[in-house]
Chain A
Amino acid sequence: MASMRDIKRRKTSISSTQQITKAMKLVSTVKLQKARNKAEETTPYFNGMYRTVNSMLAKTGQIDHPYLRDNGSTKKAVIVITSNRGLAGGYNSNVVKLITESDLPKEDVKIYSIGHKGEEVLLRKGYEVTQRYPEVVEAPDYEDAQEICRQVLEAYEAGEIGEIYLAYTHFKNTVSHQPTLLKLLPVEWQEPEEAEQSGPDLLMNFEPGEEEALAQIVPKYVTSLVYGALVEAVASENGARMQAMDSATSNAEDMIADLSLKYNRARQGSITQELTEIIAGAEAIS
């Protein structure tokens, strides 16, 4: 049996770890609250954007615009959003897995990485990281998203890349986060079945012309998607960390309870042994 001192030392160490995980849990709970509010505020903008672009594409689907068709390049850009810090359970590895297990061939993928953790793993696995924006995750704002999209779209227009994907964690609710791989460009547009219901949309006019309006609105659409993904990813990160730290804290609690029991047993054992020794000694003298 381990000595009393060993058990005691172990117990102290675990309780100090527990204090850390508890504090981290509290911090990420607060951050989650903030991030979630932000994500909710973004939703109306994003929904409006999505609706407009869809109704536009329903009208202009036939147009041969660079944003809508293949430009021949086999290269694929993937914007990967992960966190800068670990201790968030499977948050980062789930996003990375999404890419490694997708059917995108490794040699054709160019990574635009937002966040350290995913970037490190992807580099190790031999992916090409073209651009990195580690600082964006700390406090995402719309201008960051604009800057990233500008660079990606430039490469797209220059024909360096033929497809743009976005890998991030979708924030469903506090406990459920869904790693998602989304195709941004060329815009994949489904024949809208609800076209009949949204009757007035069919009469929509565009100013400037449809094609020009498309050229202006699609970059904004991509930017809003990236921004929405960023905000959601931050919320998911904090949610994942909160869960991870919560289970770490309760694990520590279990271990402490177990060690306390062992400690008390060892203490009792040593007292009994001491007594037996004293009695044996006394008997030997008499």
Chain B
Amino acid sequence: MADNMFQVKIITPDRIFYQGEASMIEFNTTEGEIGVLKDHIPLTTVIAPGIVTITEAEGTKKAAVHAGFAEILGDKVTLLAEIAEWPEEIDLERARKAEDRAKERLSRKDANLDVTRAEIALKKSLVRQDILA
């Protein structure tokens, strides 16, 4: 095992999504994109919808992660995600439809529209399409 490897765990409510050794992990936080190497300072941060890139010894892995938070401790990174998906689990057609629906809802400017929810839905669908592109 190389020296620059650390433990990465991605946990969702229904399963342990990913567990393994990586030399780098990149993901989106509410404050911006972040890349974590070994011996990062301890940090807890809130995840924004985006793509997680895990650099393993054999190559990189990508996954879509939609909400949750990350706990970074020197040699261990734990992502507690509410939703996480591998690219092959994403239905592109559904993501496109979700995007249209969210855009339509946002453009209607309905008084009792939950703007944040619609925006989150839009972001999710965009991330899903992004990772497949």
Given contacts A207-B45, A208-B31, A216-B46, contact A200 B13 (CB under 8 A): no
Give B71-107 as 1s and 0s: 1 = Cβ < 8 Å from A's Cβ atoms: 1011000101011000000000000000000000000
Interface membership of A227, Cβ < 8 A: yes
- The one of B14, B30, B41, B42 in contact with A142, judged by C-beta atoms closer than 8 angstroms, is B14
Interface membership of B133, Cβ < 8 A: no
- The one of B11, B12, B44, B67 in contact with A56, judged by C-beta atoms closer than 8 angstroms, is B44
- Tell me how far the C-beta of B34 lies from the nearest C-beta in chain A, rounded to whole angstroms: 8
Chain A residues lying within 8 Å of B46, measured Cβ to Cβ, are: 207-208, 213, 216-217
- The one of B11, B41, B44 in contact with A45, judged by C-beta atoms closer than 8 angstroms, is B11
- Tell me how far the C-beta of B69 lies from the nearest C-beta in chain A, rounded to whole angstroms: 6
Interface of chain B residues 1 through 23 with chain A (CB within 8 A): 11-16
Interface membership of B29, Cβ < 8 A: yes
Range for the number of chain A residues in contact with chain B: 20 to 34
Do A205 and B41 touch (CB < 8 A)? yes
Interface membership of A220, Cβ < 8 A: yes
Do B69 and A42 touch (CB < 8 A)? no
Interface of B is mostly: strand
B47 nearest in chain A by CB position: A216
Do A203 and B42 touch (CB < 8 A)? yes
- In this complex, the member of B13, B14, B67 whose beta carbon has the largest number of chain A beta carbons within 10 angstroms is B13
B68 nearest in chain A by CB position: A220
- The one of A42, A146, A200, A207 in contact with B74, judged by C-beta atoms closer than 8 angstroms, is A200
- In this complex, the member of B29, B31, B69 whose beta carbon has the largest number of chain A beta carbons within 10 angstroms is B69
Chain A residues lying within 8 Å of B43, measured Cβ to Cβ, are: 204-207
Interface membership of A38, Cβ < 8 A: yes
Chain A residues lying within 8 Å of B31, measured Cβ to Cβ, are: 207-208
- Tell me how far the C-beta of A234 lies from the nearest C-beta in chain B, rounded to whole angstroms: 13
* Alpha-carbon distance between A8 and B17 when the two chains are bound, in angstroms: 59
A142 nearest in chain B by CB position: B13
Chain B residues lying within 8 Å of A227, measured Cβ to Cβ, are: 13
Give B32-50 as 1s and 0s: 1 = Cβ < 8 Å from A's Cβ atoms: 0000000001111110000
Do A200 and B73 touch (CB < 8 A)? yes
Chain A residues lying within 8 Å of B11, measured Cβ to Cβ, are: 44-45, 48
- The one of B15, B45, B68 in contact with A41, judged by C-beta atoms closer than 8 angstroms, is B15
- The one of A38, A49, A203, A206 in contact with B80, judged by C-beta atoms closer than 8 angstroms, is A49
Do A207 and B44 touch (CB < 8 A)? yes
Do A213 and B45 touch (CB < 8 A)? yes
* Alpha-carbon distance between A56 and B43 when the two chains are bound, in angstroms: 11
* Alpha-carbon distance between A55 and B68 when the two chains are bound, in angstroms: 17
Chain A residues lying within 8 Å of B73, measured Cβ to Cβ, are: 200
B34 nearest in chain A by CB position: A207
Chain B residues lying within 8 Å of A200, measured Cβ to Cβ, are: 42, 73-74
Chain A residues lying within 8 Å of B83, measured Cβ to Cβ, are: 142
- In this complex, the member of B11, B16, B74, B80 whose beta carbon has the largest number of chain A beta carbons within 10 angstroms is B80
Interface membership of A52, Cβ < 8 A: yes
Interface of chain A residues 189 through 210 with chain B (CB within 8 A): 200-201, 203-208
Given contacts A200-B42, A207-B43, contact A48 B13 (CB under 8 A): no
6 sampled A-B residue pairs with Cβ under 8 A: A41-B14, A48-B71, A55-B44, A142-B82, A200-B74, A220-B80
